[in-house]
């Protein structure tokens, strides 16, 4: 825990702290308040979920926090964004890159096929996250270790594959390996299982959970699937139309939802779980 | 990969056959009596006509004639050019290397030029820079090559006297080694410049569009999330992936350039295939025209094959699908 002493925030300050974040987008000449004054925090080694229906602003939120917004459509981006006490909203590019390269935050995405370069071998894409131009022996060894860590039985063979030669679940594992390369303290996961088959979803979630525990890595996971939250998360934010309507522990959310919208989400997911049960 | 190449090569064979047949049919359809055109303005003696018709088997059924022609062409016999008093194949083989030289050197400049402008215009965050390069490229591309060629000649050859105005240099050169190269280069410079500007600007426009498309891909977000710098993202992800459409376009236009850049060769009196074609059309040297056309068609087919192979090398998804 010597890391905490190094950081310039207070010892018990959260790993990530977001205050009054506003992201207003300009979409076809219309102003969209995608994120409208949101307070959000993630503690060290905590797993936080953000749930809400499509279009509620979850993805924009996580893109804005991880500073991966496309610049073009952003009309306003304001608020306070602190990672280990450092202001990442106004951070210089160089400093931000250093943070991404080592012990900062990383991200995985909903559609791993689109987010992997189709013309490069998987191993090279992981090596690039270790060192931008490095393709040396030590990088190769680390690549194999990472592939092993995300659950591949034969890392050497996988490293030589191209993304289109892998299944959806394997691609998402590769994405996770890329994210782990910088040894992040916080992993953002944007709908990591939505594009996958039901059985594969569970495997990927188990992998994420294991890494979260083994590495003491905080995870902020975005999903519209409350089942995912139930599996993984300590705490949950419920998002509706750019605002958080509820912030509760996962247990509280399922047993005592406070906001009618949360209650409705829980009820619907319970129906769906029942339905799944009936099918089996 | 080898299977892929062989497969593509096999696809090309029927195409070559069809092109030869079509060209022969066109030759056949050209109005006029071949025997009469041999004789000129005099009446043809019937005995002579019979001998010629027997010799060239002009009375055979059309299908047989087509068959004979295809077989002859496959043996490298494109006929005899009476205007030049030489076999057509000799003419083509003499002219082709000059055209290939001009096209290759032209492309060697045009492709890096086009890629550089395309990447700069496509990746810049300054709309002014993009507009400047896009507009410049459009204007430069819109200038016809023959006019551009003349402008270059007026400026660099006539006013400054740096380069010769036309031609490919002395038939027998006294220069050796490096001097010989330099002499060649001086004659090449202006046609290559005109060629590279025209083609390069076209490539720049394609490259820019492709770079912008690549920038919107998810893996660019992944690269940013990895903490790569702009330069690293451009080098590692954008260059290769945006080059795919350029390979197609450049390959096809290289193929057609091998058939002779007619306007450019005319302006600079560059004695390549293009000039041969123009001269032969004027002299009604039909066999030579058709020979050049078949050669150009072959060049395009071969280039398409090379494009397919390059494409597969650049994009592993195609290798698997092939």
Nearest to A68 among B225, B229, B316 (CB): B225
pLDDT of residue A54: 82
- Same structural domain for residues B110 and B80? no
**Residue in A60, A92, A97 to test binding to B, most B beta-carbons within 10 Å:** A97
pLDDT of residue A225: 83
Whole-number Å distance between alpha carbons of B50 and B173: 49
Strand partners, B19: none
List, for residues B58-96, the tens digit of each pLDDT value. 788 888 888 888 888 888 888 888 778 899 899 999 999
List, for residues B154-196, the tens digit of each pLDDT value. 888 888 888 888 877 777 767 777 887 887 888 888 899 999 9
Tell me whether strands A186-190 and A16-27 are parallel, antiparallel or unpaired.
unpaired
pLDDT of residue A273: 59
Do the chains contact at B320 and A115, CB–CB below 8 Å?
Answer: no
In chain A, whose CA is at the least distance from the CA of B214? A117
Mean pLDDT, to the nearest integer, of B205-226?
Answer: 94
* pLDDT tier at A235, thresholds 50, 70, 90: very high
Task: Measure in Å the smallest separation between the Cα of A196 and chain B Cα atoms.
Answer: 17
φ, ψ (nearest 5 deg) of residue B168 = -115, 10
- Same structural domain for residues B97 and B83? no
- Same structural domain for residues B106 and B6? no
- Among the candidates B40, B64, B88, a domain finishes at B88
CA A7 remoteness from chain centre: 22
- Among the candidates B88, B108, B138, a domain finishes at B88
- The string of DSSP codes covering A211-260 is HHHHTT-EEEEEES-HHHHHHH-SEEEEEETTEEEEEEEHHHHHHS--SH
Are A190 and A59 within 8 A, CB to CB? Answer: yes
**Three-state SS for A151?**
coil
Do the chains contact at B226 and A114, CB–CB below 8 Å?
Answer: no
Mean pLDDT, to the nearest integer, of A139-153?
Answer: 94
Do the chains contact at A118 and B229, CB–CB below 8 Å?
Answer: no
The pair of structure tokens assigned to A22 is 């506003």
* Interface contact A73, partner B, CB < 8 A: no
Do the chains contact at A182 and B125, CB–CB below 8 Å?
Answer: no
**Residue written as tokens 């590495």?**
A215
Domains contained in chain B, number:
2
Mean pLDDT, to the nearest integer, of B237-242?
Answer: 92
Mean pLDDT, to the nearest integer, of A26-51?
Answer: 90
Q: Is A180's pLDDT higher than 90?
A: yes
* pLDDT tier at B310, thresholds 50, 70, 90: confident
Are B110 and B192 within 8 A, CB to CB? Answer: no
Nearest to B227 among A100, A111, A115 (CB): A100
Nearest to B241 among A119, A125, A129 (CB): A119
Residues 6+ apart with CB under 8 A from B285: B81, B82, B83, B84, B279
Are A186 and A86 within 8 A, CB to CB? Answer: no
Residues of A in contact with B237 (CB under 8 A): 117
Residues of A in contact with B1 (CB under 8 A): none
**Residue in B222, B234, B239, B319 to test binding to A, most A beta-carbons within 10 Å:** B222
φ, ψ (nearest 5 deg) of residue A192 = -70, -20
Q: Could you say which DSSP state residue B33 is in? A: -
Percent of chain A with pLDDT over 70: 91
* Interface contact A118, partner B, CB < 8 A: yes
Sort residue A41 into left (φ over 0), alpha (ψ -120 to 50) or beta: beta
- Same structural domain for residues B163 and B312? yes
Tell me whether strands A74-83 and A86-87 are parallel, antiparallel or unpaired.
antiparallel
Are A173 and A152 within 8 A, CB to CB? Answer: yes
pLDDT of residue B238: 94
**Three-state SS for B83?**
coil
Task: Measure in Å the smallest separation between the Cα of B201 and chain A Cα atoms.
Answer: 26
pLDDT of residue A30: 87
How long a stretch of residues is chain A? Answer: 280
* Closest alpha carbon to B262 in B273, B274, B277, B270: B274
- Same structural domain for residues B43 and B183? no
Task: Measure in Å the smallest separation between the Cα of B12 and chain A Cα atoms.
Answer: 27
Higher pLDDT, A182 or B290: A182
Nearest to A117 among B241, B314, B320 (CB): B241
Domain carrying residue B43: 2-88
* Closest alpha carbon to B88 in B292, B284, B307, B251: B292
Q: Is A1's pLDDT higher than 60?
A: no
Mean pLDDT, to the nearest integer, of B316-322?
Answer: 69
pLDDT of residue A176: 96
CA B61 remoteness from chain centre: 36
Residues 6+ apart with CB under 8 A from B67: none
Q: Is A2's pLDDT higher than 50?
A: no
- Same structural domain for residues B59 and B193? no
- Same structural domain for residues B31 and B116? no
- Same structural domain for residues B104 and B216? yes
Whole-number Å distance between alpha carbons of A146 and A138: 12
Do the chains contact at A132 and B228, CB–CB below 8 Å?
Answer: yes
Half-sphere exposure of B312 (CA within 13 A, CB side): 17
CATH code of the domain containing B169: 1.10.3720.10
Q: Is A105's pLDDT higher than 90?
A: yes
Residues of B in contact with A164 (CB under 8 A): 316-317, 320
pLDDT of residue A3: 46
Residues of B in contact with A64 (CB under 8 A): none
- Same structural domain for residues B68 and B180? no
For chain A, residues classed under CATH 3.40.50.300 are 2-104+182-279
Q: Is A5's pLDDT higher than 50?
A: no
Are A243 and A36 within 8 A, CB to CB? Answer: yes
- Same structural domain for residues B253 and B125? yes
- Same structural domain for residues B84 and B101? no
Nearest to A164 among B125, B223, B317 (CB): B317
pLDDT of residue A71: 67
Are B312 and B4 within 8 A, CB to CB? Answer: yes
Mean pLDDT, chain A, rounded, equals 87
pLDDT of residue A275: 54
Whole-number Å distance between alpha carbons of B301 and B13: 9
- Same structural domain for residues B41 and B130? no
What is the largest distance, in Å, between two alpha-carbon atoms of chain B?
Answer: 88
Q: Is A280's pLDDT higher than 80?
A: no
Whole-number Å distance between alpha carbons of B200 and B121: 14
Are A245 and A239 within 8 A, CB to CB? Answer: yes
Nearest to B229 among A97, A125, A129 (CB): A97
pLDDT of residue A95: 92
The pair of structure tokens assigned to B306 is 């090379």
Please state, as a whole number, how many other Cβ atoms lie within 10 Å of the Cβ of residue A220. Answer: 27
Whole-number Å distance between alpha carbons of B132 and A115: 32
**Residue in B227, B237, B322 to test binding to A, most A beta-carbons within 10 Å:** B227
pLDDT of residue A10: 52
- Among the candidates B88, B109, B137, a domain finishes at B88
Mean pLDDT, to the nearest integer, of B21-31?
Answer: 82
Task: Measure in Å the smallest separation between the Cα of B206 and chain A Cα atoms.
Answer: 20
pLDDT of residue B262: 85
Mean pLDDT, to the nearest integer, of B215-239?
Answer: 93
pLDDT of residue A274: 58
Residues of A in contact with B232 (CB under 8 A): 132-133
* Closest alpha carbon to A57 in A42, A36, A71: A36
Whole-number Å distance between alpha carbons of A269 and A265: 6
The CATH code that applies to domain A2-104+182-279 is 3.40.50.300
CA angle A117, A118, A119 (to 5 degrees): 95
Q: Is A8's pLDDT higher than 70?
A: no
Are B47 and B39 within 8 A, CB to CB? Answer: no
């Amino acid at each position: 825990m010597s890391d905490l002493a190094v950081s310039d925030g207070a010892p018990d300050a959260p790993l990530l702290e977001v205050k009054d974040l506003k992201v207003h987008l300009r979409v076809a000449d219309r102003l969209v308040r995608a994120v409208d004054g949101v307070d959000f925090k993630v503690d060290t080694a905590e797993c936080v979920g953000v749930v809400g229906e499509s279009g509620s602003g979850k993805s924009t939120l996580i893109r804005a926090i991880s500073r991966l917004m496309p610049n073009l459509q952003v009309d306003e981006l304001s608020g306070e964004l602190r990672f280990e006490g450092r202001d990442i909203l106004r951070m210089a590019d160089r400093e931000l890159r250093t943070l991404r390269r080592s012990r900062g935050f990383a991200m995985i995405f909903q559609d791993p096929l689109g987010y992997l370069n189709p013309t490069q071998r998987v191993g090279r894409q992981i090596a690039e996250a270790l060192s931008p131009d490095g393709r040396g022996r030590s990088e190769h060894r680390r690549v194999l270790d990472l592939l092993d860590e995300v659950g591949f039985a034969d890392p050497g063979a996988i490293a030589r594959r191209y993304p289109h030669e892998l299944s959806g679940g394997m691609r998402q594992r590769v994405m996770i390996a890329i994210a782990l390369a910088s040894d992040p303290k916080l992993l953002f996961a944007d709908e990591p299982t939505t594009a996958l088959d039901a059985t594969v979803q569970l495997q990927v979630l188990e992998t994420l959970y294991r890494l979260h525990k083994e590495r003491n890595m905080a995870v902020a996971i975005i999903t519209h699937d409350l089942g995912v939250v139930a599996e993984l998360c300590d705490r949950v934010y419920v998002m509706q139309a750019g605002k958080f309507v509820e912030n509760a522990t996962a247990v509280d959310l399922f047993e005592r939802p406070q906001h009618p919208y949360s209650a409705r989400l829980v009820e619907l997911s319970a129906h769906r779980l029942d339905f799944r049960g009936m099918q089996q | 990969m080898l299977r892929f190449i062989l497969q593509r090569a096999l696809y090309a064979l029927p195409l070559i056959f069809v092109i030869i047949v079509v060209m022969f049919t066109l030759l056949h359809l050209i109005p006029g009596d071949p025997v009469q055109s041999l004789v000129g303005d005099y009446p043809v003696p019937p005995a002579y006509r019979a001998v010629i018709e027997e010799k060239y088997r002009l009375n055979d059924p059309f299908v047989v004639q087509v068959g004979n022609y295809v077989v002859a062409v496959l043996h490298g016999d494109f006929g005899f050019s009476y205007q030049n008093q030489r076999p057509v194949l000799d003419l083509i083989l003499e002219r082709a290397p000059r055209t290939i030289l001009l096209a290759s050197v032209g492309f060697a400049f045009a492709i890096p030029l086009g890629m550089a402008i395309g990447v700069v215009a496509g990746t810049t965050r300054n709309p002014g820079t993009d507009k400047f390069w896009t507009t410049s490229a459009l204007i430069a591309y819109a200038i016809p090559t023959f006019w551009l060629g003349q402008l270059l000649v007026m400026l660099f050859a006539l006013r400054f006297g740096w380069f010769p105005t036309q031609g490919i240099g002395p038939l027998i050169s006294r220069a050796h080694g490096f001097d010989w190269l330099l002499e060649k280069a001086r004659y090449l410079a202006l046609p290559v410049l005109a060629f590279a500007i025209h083609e390069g600007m076209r490539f720049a426009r394609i490259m820019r569009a492709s770079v912008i498309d690549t920038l919107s891909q998810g893996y660019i977000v992944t690269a940013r999330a990895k903490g790569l710098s702009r330069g690293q993202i451009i080098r590692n992800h954008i260059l290769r992936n945006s080059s795919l459409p350029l390979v197609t376009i450049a390959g096809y236009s290289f193929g057609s350039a091998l058939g002779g850049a007619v306007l450019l060769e005319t302006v600079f009196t560059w004695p390549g295939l293009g000039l041969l074609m123009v001269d032969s059309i004027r002299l009604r040297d039909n066999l030579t025209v058709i020979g050049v056309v078949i050669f150009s068609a072959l060049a395009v087919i071969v280039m398409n094959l090379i494009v397919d192979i390059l494409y597969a090398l650049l994009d592993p998804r195609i290798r698997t699908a092939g």
